[in-house]
């Protein structure tokens, strides 16, 4: 099995003993490969070593996603958006039908744990558990916002004790994470890496492009939201992330890698775009938090998912 097979960015492992988190580490800390997307074998073994355990002592290995549900979502959206998606069809199917679909078998083989001990958990439930179960709250509203799991991009949960009840969701392709990722690419930064740079760039600009952004994303009074999908390329060009309609609204994308000069009116406009994006994201998250409180009645809030890393929004 090739050591550096690509599964998902920022591979990691955590060890839970009797309901208590005792170790967690990202694979990149050991491999020295930034955002390492490989199977987190070294991370898992490091967690076990920290606790003085062997792989055979493990009761369960839980993987954070349902591979077959993910495949179903990818297939449905590829077929739904033909012919726009025909160029990405082979690569997307190869990615899902290749190593990703059989990741549970590979975890079993790599760690020497019987296959029946390897189980799955839905992506957003995994996120929700990672925030709520280590929180100080006996009950809380839990808001999960990321790019996309199997099919969900945003979920609202009510956590009580050790249970999580799903109360509401917004499904792919409408995604705040993919909104931010698309604009990250538009501004010339790498997706799943440069989002924090966009957040920092926002401090240099003014949120003066709300008219354009109100066409890119519509925020509803119930906390839900809706993207103008013509502005994005979730399925036809996942690396780019945005479509021609976004450039018609905001102007040409910023060339990746070119030096920044915020005394230049062109670069200052890009900073204004970042500032407007940040403002819209914060309003969307506040709307979702209000909805979470309405649905759960809780005064406690846990946040999870990639978008919860946005420190300004927090």
Asked if 27 and 45 count as a contact pair (C-beta separation under 8 A), the reply is no
Residue 182 confidence (pLDDT):
95
One-character DSSP codes across the chain: --TT---SSS-EEEEEETTEEEEEEETHHHH--TT--S--HHHHHHHHHHHT--GGG-S-EEESS-HHHHHHHHHHHHHHTTTTTTTTHHHHHHHHHTGGGGHHHHHHHHHT--GGGEEE--HHHHHHHHHHTTSS-SEEEEEEE-S-SSSEEEEEEEEETTEEEEEEEEETT--HHHHHHHHHHHTT--TTTSHHHHHHHGGGS----HHHHHHHEEE-TTS-EEE-GGGB-TTT-TTT-B-HHHHHHH-SPPPTTPPP-TTSHHHHHHHHHHHHHHHHHHHHHHHHHHHHHHHH--S-EEEESGGGG-TTT-
Range 29-39 average pLDDT: 93
Residue 19 confidence (pLDDT):
87
Residue 43 confidence (pLDDT):
97
Asked if 120 and 282 count as a contact pair (C-beta separation under 8 A), the reply is no
State yes or no: pLDDT of 83 exceeds 90. no
Residue 102 confidence (pLDDT):
79
Q: What angle do CA 35, 186, 143 make, to 5 degrees?
A: 60
Higher pLDDT, 4 or 210: 210
**Rounded Cα gap, residues 293 and 222, in angstroms:** 12
Query: Mean pLDDT lowest for which of 11-20, 78-87, 100-109, 172-181?
Result: 78-87
Residue 241 confidence (pLDDT):
82
The fraction of the chain above a pLDDT of 70, given in percent, is 85
Residue 15 confidence (pLDDT):
97
Banded pLDDT at 67 (limits 50, 70, 90)? confident
Asked if 78 and 72 count as a contact pair (C-beta separation under 8 A), the reply is no
Q: Taking Cα atoms as reference points, which of 272, 277, 171, 187 lies closest to residue 229? A: 171
Pair of tokens at residue 164: 């999580």
Give the distance between the most distant pair of CA atoms in the chain: 61
How many C-beta atoms lie closer than 10 Å to residue 135's C-beta?
A: 15
For 8, 125, 131, 227, the CA distances from 284, given in Å and listed in that order, are 26, 21, 20, 12
Average pLDDT, the chain: 89
For 68, 73, 213, 300, the CA distances from 162, given in Å and listed in that order, are 26, 29, 40, 15
Owner of token pair 């739904």: 80
Range 225-250 average pLDDT: 83
**Rounded Cα gap, residues 63 and 14, in angstroms:** 11
Range 207-220 average pLDDT: 97
Residue 1 confidence (pLDDT):
38
Q: Taking Cα atoms as reference points, which of 308, 302, 289 lies closest to residue 199? A: 308
How many C-beta atoms lie closer than 10 Å to residue 79's C-beta?
A: 11
State yes or no: pLDDT of 96 exceeds 60. no
Asked if 29 and 42 count as a contact pair (C-beta separation under 8 A), the reply is no
pTM for the predicted model, two decimal places: 0.86
Tell me the per-residue pLDDT of 131-167, one tens digit each, with 9 for 90 and over.
999 999 999 999 999 999 888 999 999 999 999 999 9
Q: Please list, in sequence order, all residues whose beta carbon lies within 8 angstroms of the beta carbon of residue 210, skipping any fewer than 6 positions away.
A: 276, 279, 280
Q: What angle do CA 174, 179, 185 make, to 5 degrees?
A: 140
Tell me the per-residue pLDDT of 275-292, one tens digit each, with 9 for 90 and over.
999 999 999 999 999 999
């Amino acid at each position: 099995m090739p050591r550096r097979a690509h599964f998902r960015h920022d591979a990691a492992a955590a060890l839970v003993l009797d309901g208590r988190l005792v170790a967690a580490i990202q694979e990149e800390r050991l491999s020295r490969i930034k955002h390492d997307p490989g199977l987190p074998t070294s991370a898992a073994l490091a967690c076990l070593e920290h606790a003085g355990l062997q792989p055979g002592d493990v009761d369960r290995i839980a993987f954070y996603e349902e591979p077959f549900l993910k495949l179903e979502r990818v297939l449905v959206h590829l077929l739904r958006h033909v012919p726009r998606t025909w160029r990405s069809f082979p690569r997307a199917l190869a990615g899902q039908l290749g190593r990703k679909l059989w990741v549970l078998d590979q975890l079993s083989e790599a760690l020497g744990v019987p296959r029946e001990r390897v189980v799955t958990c839905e992506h957003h439930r995994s996120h929700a558990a990672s925030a709520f179960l280590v929180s100080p709250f006996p009950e809380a509203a839990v808001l999960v916002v990321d790019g996309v799991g199997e099919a969900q991009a945003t979920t609202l949960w009510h956590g009580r004790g050790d249970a999580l009840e799903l109360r509401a969701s917004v499904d792919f392709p409408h995604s705040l994470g993919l909104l931010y990722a698309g604009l990250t690419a538009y501004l010339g930064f790498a997706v799943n890496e440069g989002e924090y740079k966009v957040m920092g760039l926002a401090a240099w600009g003014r949120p003066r492009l709300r008219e354009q952004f109100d066409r890119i994303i519509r925020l509803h009074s119930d906390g839900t939201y809706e993207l103008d999908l013509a502005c994005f390329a979730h399925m036809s060009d996942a690396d780019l992330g945005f479509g021609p309609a976004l450039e018609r609204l905001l102007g040409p994308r910023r060339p990746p890698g070119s030096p920044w000069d915020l005394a230049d009116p062109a670069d200052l406009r890009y900073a204004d775009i970042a500032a407007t994006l940040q403002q819209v994201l914060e309003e969307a998250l506040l709307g979702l938090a209000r909805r979470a409180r309405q649905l759960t009645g809780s005064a406690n809030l846990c946040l999870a998912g990639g978008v919860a890393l946005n420190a300004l929004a927090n």
